[in-house]
Amino acid sequence: MKQITVELSESSYAVQIESGLLSRAGDLLARHARGRRMLVVTDSNVVTHVARDFLGGLNAAGIDTVVHTLPAGEASKSWEQLSVLVDWLLANHVERSDHIIALGGGVVGDITGFAAHIVKRGCNFIQVPTTLLAQVDSSVGGKTAINTAAGKNLVGAFHQPSLVLIDPDVLQSLPRRELAAGFAEVVKYGLIDDPEFFDYCDVNVQAFFDGDSGVRAYAIAHSVQSKARIVAADERELTGTRALLNLGHTFGHALEADTGYSSKLLHGEAVAAGMALAFRYSVRRGHCSVDDAARAASVLHKAGLPTTLNEAGVTAGGAELVEHMLHDKKKAGGTLPFLLANGIGQTFLAKDVDLADVASFLDEEAQSQS
């Protein structure tokens, strides 16, 4: 079993990664249960594909469970579903020392973590991520949130899990498109500050999608290690280090907003197109070589991810997309910081970006593809 520790000043925790881990999780979780029932939150797809093995393992270890099933999909990160979830936790007499389990993708993890944060002024929770995106990104680092009418993830809290259990085998039932969306976040770690890992992703992209268990396990563990390192350096996103994890997200959020935060464009797909745009915009500003921008787009393309506005299904003009960006919560003092790159593995935060220039760039991008 691979174990990675997320070293935080107040609340370090372990991320355990192993094939087949979920069906054996009962023994690991028994000490967290302390003889009490465990409250498991999942979604309507995960309950079909993954939950039976996991719950069976818990029951075999003598842990009783109660399960709350959210409707699958981003729309569940809502006030309505939060309210239902909180009422369910309270109706089940959750105590602060209980461990609420989030079994699912980023949607289940984000809303369950937020519910755990607000119920009884903070309960423990355990992340059991079942999508690639959740395994390599959202389950580690303690960001929790729901969406509101004003935008995505605008209501939330930092609430670290007490344990993260990752079983790469659960990805077998994940649709290919969701797997690719998560792969965008894997490639992101290479693009941020790890050119060797970028090369690994480039060389092994086919093996990864063919289901090579060694490649998958390595890519997941290396990504978690990168995320743990960056989060440990800047847990609350105060120094700029953690902001590097938002590579592709400012462009990406605008693309998601234009496509209505819908299944037309998944979050990871928006990040992929956003990273390709950030690299090409870096070329335009003279930071990055054309060659590096092309290499960044190429590995994403090989994974079947969108790398242009057209492929992302975006129809809005540059000015409209910039307007979406201004709703991004990372807007500070009326300016918009952008993550740009000097090359593969050389991402930096630029605070002097002219939004009119970004709008022109996006218009030119759209024209060059029409």
Ligand X SMILES: NC(=O)c1ccc[n+]([C@@H]2O[C@H](COP(=O)([O-])OP(=O)(O)OC[C@H]3O[C@@H](n4cnc5c(N)ncnc54)[C@H](O)[C@@H]3O)[C@@H](O)[C@H]2O)c1
The window from 52-60, 72-80, 326-334, 362-370 that contacts ligand X (CB under 6 A) reads 72-80
CA 206 to chain centre: 22
The window from 32-40, 100-108, 313-321, 328-336 that contacts ligand X (CB under 6 A) reads 100-108
Between CA 248 and CA 262 the distance in angstroms is: 18
Which member of 28, 107, 224, 278 binds ligand X (CB under 6 A)? 107
Q: Known catalytic residue: 237?
A: yes
Residue from 68, 77, 188, 227 carrying the catalytic annotation: 227
351: exposed, middle or buried (C-beta count within 10 Å: 0-12, 13-18, 19+)? exposed
Any residues with CB less than 8 A from the CB of 339 and at least 6 apart, and which?
A: 243, 244, 246, 247, 248, 249, 250, 278, 347, 348, 349, 350
Give the CA count within 13 Å in the CB-facing half-sphere of 98: 24
Q: Known catalytic residue: 227?
A: yes
**Does the protein bind ligand X through residue 130 (CB under 6 A)?**
yes
Residue from 2, 36, 37, 237 carrying the catalytic annotation: 237
Between CA 142 and CA 279 the distance in angstroms is: 28
Residue from 185, 256, 269, 365 carrying the catalytic annotation: 185
**Does the protein bind ligand X through residue 22 (CB under 6 A)?**
no
Pick 105 or 337: Cβ nearer ligand X: 105
Element (H, E) at 129: strand 124-129
Q: How far is the CB of 263 from ligand X (least distance, A)?
A: 9
Q: Known catalytic residue: 249?
A: yes
Between CA 142 and CA 153 the distance in angstroms is: 13
Q: How far is the CB of 137 from ligand X (least distance, A)?
A: 5
Which member of 6, 45, 281, 359 binds ligand X (CB under 6 A)? 45
**Tokens standing for 338?**
């952008």
Assess contact for 190 and 179: CB atoms under 8 A.
Answer: no
Between CA 159 and CA 176 the distance in angstroms is: 30
Q: Known catalytic residue: 120?
A: no
Residue from 45, 124, 147, 246 carrying the catalytic annotation: 246
Q: Known catalytic residue: 242?
A: yes
Q: How far is the CB of 172 from ligand X (least distance, A)?
A: 8
Cβ count within 10 A of residue 64: 11
327: exposed, middle or buried (C-beta count within 10 Å: 0-12, 13-18, 19+)? middle
**Does the protein bind ligand X through residue 252 (CB under 6 A)?**
no
Task: Please state, in angstroms and as integers, the Cα–Cα distance from residue 141 to each residue in 169, 179, 223, 241, following that order.
Answer: 22, 21, 12, 13
Which residue lies nearest ligand X, judged by its C-beta? Answer: 106
Residue 246's closest CA among 341, 322, 174, 176? 341
Pick 112 or 282: Cβ nearer ligand X: 112
Site map 139..158 versus ligand X, x via CB under 6 A: --x-x---------x-----
Task: Identify residue 173 by its one-letter amino acid code.
Answer: S
Pick 246 or 343: Cβ nearer ligand X: 246
The window from 11-19, 173-181, 214-222, 291-299 that contacts ligand X (CB under 6 A) reads 173-181
**Does the protein bind ligand X through residue 165 (CB under 6 A)?**
no
Give residues in contact with ligand X (CB under 6 A). Answer: 43, 45-46, 49-50, 72-74, 77, 104-108, 110, 130-131, 133-134, 137-138, 141, 143, 153, 170, 173-174, 178, 181, 267-268
The residues that are catalytic are 121, 143, 185, 227, 237, 242, 246, 249, 253, 267
